[in-house]
Amino acid sequence: MFKSRFISILLVFFFSTSPSFAASDSTKQVFKFYCAQCHGDTGTGDGVNVTEDFATEPRNFTSGKEMSKLSDADIKNVIMDGGPSASKSALMPPWGKTLTDAQADELVAYLRELCNCKGAE
């Protein structure tokens, strides 16, 4: 009785966590490596580069209000081509020659998780 309950808890735990872990872990690592330096470890816009000289605050990805103004395509474009491509600050770098297309798509999905929001059409 005790044993089977333990196993079923284990099974539930395993199935609920492992597949998404495997998938989102590397995206998380990509985010932490390239984006966290400005956008912060948890995406709130307070990365280590944001000193008093930093002219424009990096987007806070946990703000549903701000992030829902952007469509998924807007987000992907600004990631690949940088701030100026969307009339935003040049402090947002162009990552198009650094990230693969698939990595950019995964980042868009990751940012949607952080804001817990949907994009504008």
Q: Which residues bind another protein (CB under 8 A)?
A: 29-30, 32-34, 36-38, 41, 47-49, 51, 53-54, 82, 84, 90-98
Q: How far is the CB of 115 from another protein (least distance, A)?
A: 22
Q: How many CB atoms lie within 10 A of CB 42?
A: 14
Return the residue of 83, 94, 96, 119 that touches ligand HEC, per CB under 6 A. Answer: 83
Counting Cβ atoms within 10 Å, is residue 35 exposed (0-12), middle (13-18) or buried (19+)?
Answer: buried
d(CA 90, CA 16): 40
Please, are residues 26 and 99 in contact by the beta-carbon 8 Å criterion?
A: no
Q: Out of another protein, ligand HEC, none, which partner does residue 41 contact, by CB within 5 to 8 A per kind? A: another protein
96 near ligand HEC (CB under 6 A): no
Nearer to another protein, 8 or 26 (CB): 26
Q: How far is the CB of 95 from ligand HEC (least distance, A)?
A: 5
Q: Out of ligand HEC, another protein, none, which partner does residue 115 contact, by CB within 5 to 8 A per kind? A: none
Nearer to another protein, 34 or 119 (CB): 34
Helix (H, G, I), strand (E, B) or coil at 5: helix
Radius of gyration of the chain (CA): 18
Closest C-alpha among 61, 13, 8, 12 to residue 35: 61
Nearer to another protein, 35 or 114 (CB): 35
